[in-house]
Amino acid sequence: MLKAVLRKVPGKEKEKEKEKQFLEVWDQNRKVKSIDLTALDKHGSVYDDDQFGCLAWSHSETHLLYVAEKKRPKAESFFQSKASELGTSDEDVGCPEKEDAPLKGEQFVYHEDWGETLSTRSVPVLCALDIEGSSVSVLEGVPKHLSPGQAFWSPGDTGVVFVGWWHEPFRLGLRHCTNRRSALFYVDLTGGRCELLSEDTRAVWSPRLSPDHCRIVYLENDALGPHQQCSQLRMYDWYTKHTSTVLEAVPRQAWGAFPGIYCGALPGLCWAADSRRLVLDTAQRSQQDIFVVDTVTGATTSLTADAPQGSWSVLTIDRDLLVARFSTPSCPPTLKVAVLPEAGREAQVQWVYLQDAPPITGISWSIRTLQPPPEQEHPQYGGLDFDAILMRPSEDRAMAQKPPLVVMPHGGPHSVFTAGWMLYPASLCRMGFAVLLVNYRGSLGFGQDSVASLPGNVGTQDVRDVQFCVERVLQEESLDASRVALVGGSHGGFLACHLLGQFPNTYHAGVVRNPVVNIASMVTTTDIPDWCLTETGLPYAPDALPDPAQWTEMLQKSPMRYVDQVRAPVLLMLGEDDRRVPPKQGLEYYHALKARGIPTRLLWYPGNNHALAGVEAEADGFMNMALWLLKYLRCSCPHWRLSAAERGPMASGTERSAEATGGPAACYRELSRFPAITRAALGATVGGQTFLLYTGFSARTLPQGSTVPCSAAAHGRAMSCWRFGAVTGAATAWTSRHWGSTGRSTQRVGSVPLCPQWRQEWHKCWTQCLPSASCQAGFPLTMPGPFSCLSWSHSETRLLYVAEKSRPKPQPPCPWDVPGAALLAEQDEDEEDERFMYREDWGEALSTRSVPVICALDLESSSILVLEGVPEHLSPGQALWSPDDRGVVFVGWWHEPFRLGLSACSNRRSGIFHLDVSSGHCELLSAEHSAACSPRLSPDGQRLLYLEGALGGPHRQCQRLRMLTWRTRQTVTVLDVVQELTEAFAGLYGEALPPRCWAADSRRAVLGTPQRSRTDLLLVDTETATVTNLTAGSPEGCWELLTLQWDILVATCSAPHHPPSLVVSVLPPAGQELPLHWVPVEDTPTVPGVTWKILTVQPPHSRQSSDVHGTQAFEALLLSPLDSTTPHPLIVCPHGGPHAVFDARWRPNMAALCQLGFAVLLVNYRGSLGFGQASISSLQSRMGEQDVADTQLAVEQALRSEPLDPHRLALLAGSHGAFIALHLLTREPERYQACALRSPVSNLPALLGTSDIPDWRYTSLGLPYSFERVPRAEEVAAMLLRSPIAQAAQVQTPVLLCVGARDRRVSPTQSLELYRVLRARGVPARLLWYPEGGHALTGVETEADVFGNCARWFLRHLGQPRLDRMGQQSH
């Protein structure tokens, strides 16, 4: 009898080796063969999951069937080239066979996966290993629109039977979703013909071939609808080709009758030896029982009806020897075996214990059945009842006071609590809590009517059922009604949050794990968007667009609706990698609670997904949950229940040395030691007279923090084996899988382009447009964040800087299995564990900035002092020494109740402070309710200059220039906000003043700021408040001051056709500044073939609008190829922000597009910076209207006045600019022939729960924002109507999307939603996914790849030939 083992060996992380995979063939205890699958390089990783994965022997035992990821072609960047080794040639190496050419520009193409726990599964393929030849074949014939899995050999080994899941137009999450469209197929290995064996409009899974190879049974559900349902059992006759229904779905569960099938899969071996009967386990109300099914008659018989009440699961059946797992809420899992009686006598089955596990003392349990009151009956499905399992401390362990109650509704919502072993409830019960597990209407095991009653009624029916159950139990049981808590995860967390808000007087604490709190915001971020609509009672279609009425309905059914009424303290636990209920859901609830002053704590578990099933996360989660409940339910346990450490110094030394029995750590340690039995297999001994039973189990190894799987085929791991007599029969082969740990893999890149004819042109354009190395040498341009600084004291003995506050080092996991360790665990259990404590950061580009502190380095003593005295509600930054070196001036940002994104947001509440180092006294120097930043001390130390903006509102605005006289502490406004645009001065719009901006006279300052579509250098006289433009009229359109020292100005200047040049000048005395003479230090030549101009666009006057700013002119930059006679295709680029500006600076990507023959129009619509505050204000509440109309107007004017081709137009934009571009595609679907977008905003209300700047969404509608604000239904509807996604049905233009996976500003799920909608509607769409990219998609490789793909996209869809450097067409 052969066994197959898949062994995975992780590569060395330092050498970035790929994980290696081996298939081993074993005969008894001897390894016959080991095949290196990685070396064969036929496919990617072998699937080891139970969704797709399989290891199936052919009936002849010569071939092995498995599923693996399809091998992907190698890909590389457009600009990557592979240099040949020096001193070698093809002749030297004998002209070796060349590898397949890597695909240029395909390195970051997005590949869909199958969602939660299946993120590495994208395109599965069927593979067959020839044992004799040690060769692997990837089977052909599977249709491209299918993802195959759960495969096995057909009778006669002529082909393969498999389940195929439809993955077009896109993939939805598959884990725990038995409603995905799928069917049973047969692929003939000789001709590659694929035959459909089942209906192709249903959901099919778990096929099982009978021992006589004549019949295949499988489970079948309706496609879509609830994710879990009552399933049909179907059977396909291999020879007659006839399909029959063995068992139908059961509408109502009748007492004592078969309840229906509710299992996630049939047992791997489920057929009896007669090939007529099969065994399965399924939920029967709040129990799980084993049934035998006669596939001919459809008769069912319970094999556990007369057995103890609890939870039964089939592990395997082989030649009628049945192995099962049994447990109860008070009894950990045990193994039982039985011989299946002959047909008609199944009820006489006799179960035999293989393990005798006594029940856990101190726990009693019962099942209660409840009937909802008449007013809560379902109008269509009346008469439904439901169950609850009540666990409570036994009477002999009862405390003097009534026990508190912990209420646990299950997740799903179509799931069920069966009366089996559950670690958390058992541990809580041992601690003295009563636990109520509620199977509300909609749970599995109560009939399909119960399941169907819940969609459309979530948030009401399920909430009322739980509350009704709680009230009834409190009335009838001796429980403390003043100490009731809620614990729930996923949909159970949804119910817990609902109950906390709807019934605030009932519950006194809450613990929720990955809760659903806002269905409306979850629909665009989850791997199961259909769930959000289905459970809300709405239809789902892949090509459906968001509808305001539907979003309103989803919000109305969400717990966020009741967050204002929550009073109980809430502990949240979130998995960082959760794809099902993304952690943004919990963060949204956490922020809402913090803003309302509700005690709340958030635990963040990296590397954990929806289930939070990692050993360390599970143990930490329990400890924090237990401590939270003990704290807020005021559990003053009796003296005998507390550990000595918990009792404090009153405990004696003898008591301290004793092991505690009732604390959280002790309970968890005691009850988590029981292994979970996961599988079983039977093997025959020589002669076939006895059987060997092999079981696989997983045990929590708390010292190592991992779950150890144990199996018969895993060397060095524990296994269990029993030998006993059994029915004789022919020996059969069985397959064992060994799943090793995974490691990181690297992607090899090559050098050959996908489109060779354009490779040289793109490469030349890009490299010619990059600044010269000589310009950058010696003048590194840094991009410091808003907090950073390096400031010398005036005595130059101390250095000031800002750093992240140090955190206590995490304690290593306690080795609970060594002597004396239990006492340490008990001593620490009353202290909050900070390892997984969530720490807020400052959002996009500042994810590593959380709690900054000001530090001073003493050079003489080489010591560092962390300055004290900064108020705890402030985050300090931009610090500098005060004039006398006795204190520090800094900017302090308010971070309570929580942090909002700070990058490119100059409207955050902040002030200028002075901290006296010796006394620790902190003084506010600026206005209290404003946004102040960028303090600059004059050379004489008498004046402090800083910028000040309005609090809230637009993120970028026209700012004031304020000056503080240090000695008197008097503050004056040097330059005020400019409302109306003037020729002389347009206002200040920079995010920061230059680090050195003061002239030597300590009176004048130089700064750079946008002025219309230019960025100029301005000289400000702080005494007279006059402004002089030092660069007005220069041919360069962008000037940036690098430093001003001893009146020497160092700056860079550039233009759209001119890369940055380094220039210097000497600032003349006051009153003689003009003309200023600049001397080039590093002068770069202009780029040939590019011209540019500024277009002024005048909006038409609207009689309906009384707004005087409605007709204010705006501008656009037009970059054109040099040849003015050829009509050029036009690429239209509205900027992001929306309050930003395209100034006339050097942009290499735009210049490169010009050299390729495209004209580029950069639109500064009304609302752009540099045109006055009135222009900025005019866009508020008009986003999606005014900005879109302005861009249209600019395009029309450019087409009328310039030699442009109106039939070849494209859009290129990012962020809010992409928002405008999408609106243009929906309004004029036939005007644009191509579109390339970066990090687009497509769905405004979906950003409320996913962006680091939720306030921006309110500002876009002209609404005020507050931390406590929760979106109302009418606001969500208004936002959706302003969103391009609502009109995506009008889009016809091919769209390229470029997305950063780490984007905190505009979640990448925005692009995913748009991509899926476009694909479902047949619009050409391509998505590039940059794993390390943020919102700006910066980085050399990323920027180059984005440009290359955008250029190829435009060339493909606009068909423009490139122009040579002199503007002539090249062919």
Q: Which amino acid is at 687?
A: G
Contact 501, 507 (CB under 8 A): no
Dihedral, CA of residue 319, residue 321, residue 323 and residue 326, to nearest 10: 140
CB atoms within 10 A of CB 1118: 22
Residue 667, Cα to own-chain centre: how many angstroms? Answer: 34
The secondary structure of residue 174, as a DSSP letter, is -
* Catalytic site includes residue 212: no
Q: End-to-end distance of the chain based on CA atoms, in angstroms?
A: 69
Q: Report residue 1089 as tokens.
A: 């073939």
* Distance, CA of 590 to CA of 604 (rounded, Å): 12
Contact 1058, 1087 (CB under 8 A): yes
Contact 325, 289 (CB under 8 A): no
Positions of E strands within 1274-1321: 1295-1300
Of 578, 620, 1303, 1345, catalytic: 578
Contact 509, 500 (CB under 8 A): no
* Distance, CA of 699 to CA of 673 (rounded, Å): 7
Contact 592, 559 (CB under 8 A): no
* Distance, CA of 587 to CA of 565 (rounded, Å): 18
* Catalytic site includes residue 490: yes
* Catalytic site includes residue 1255: no
* Distance, CA of 516 to CA of 522 (rounded, Å): 8
Of 490, 903, 906, 926, catalytic: 490
For residue 560, give the 3-state DSSP assignment: helix
Q: What phi and psi, each to the nearest 5 degrees, are found at residue 893? A: -100, 130
Residues sharing a CB contact under 8 Å with residue 1082, sequence separation 6 or more, in sequence order: 772, 774, 775, 1061, 1062
CA distances in angstroms from 976 to 247, 911, 949, 971, 995, listed in the order given: 79, 18, 10, 13, 21
CA distances in angstroms from 648 to 431, 480, 626, listed in the order given: 19, 27, 19
Residue 838, Cα to own-chain centre: how many angstroms? Answer: 16
* Distance, CA of 406 to CA of 478 (rounded, Å): 14
Phi-psi region of 780 (alpha: psi -120 to 50; beta: other; left: phi over 0): beta
* Distance, CA of 1245 to CA of 1275 (rounded, Å): 8
Contact 1263, 1254 (CB under 8 A): no
* Distance, CA of 354 to CA of 333 (rounded, Å): 11
Phi-psi region of 565 (alpha: psi -120 to 50; beta: other; left: phi over 0): alpha
CB crowding 1020-1046: b at 16 or more within 10 Å, else e? bbbeeeebbbbbeebebbbbbbbebee
Q: Which amino acid is at 620?
A: D
* Distance, CA of 205 to CA of 199 (rounded, Å): 12
Q: What phi and psi, each to the nearest 5 degrees, are found at residue 159? A: -170, -165
Q: What phi and psi, each to the nearest 5 degrees, are found at residue 638? A: -60, 160
* Distance, CA of 20 to CA of 34 (rounded, Å): 12
* Distance, CA of 679 to CA of 673 (rounded, Å): 18
Half-sphere exposure in the Cβ direction for 789 (13 Å, CA): 33
Contact 410, 495 (CB under 8 A): no
For residue 148, give the 3-state DSSP assignment: strand
- Active site members: 490, 578, 610
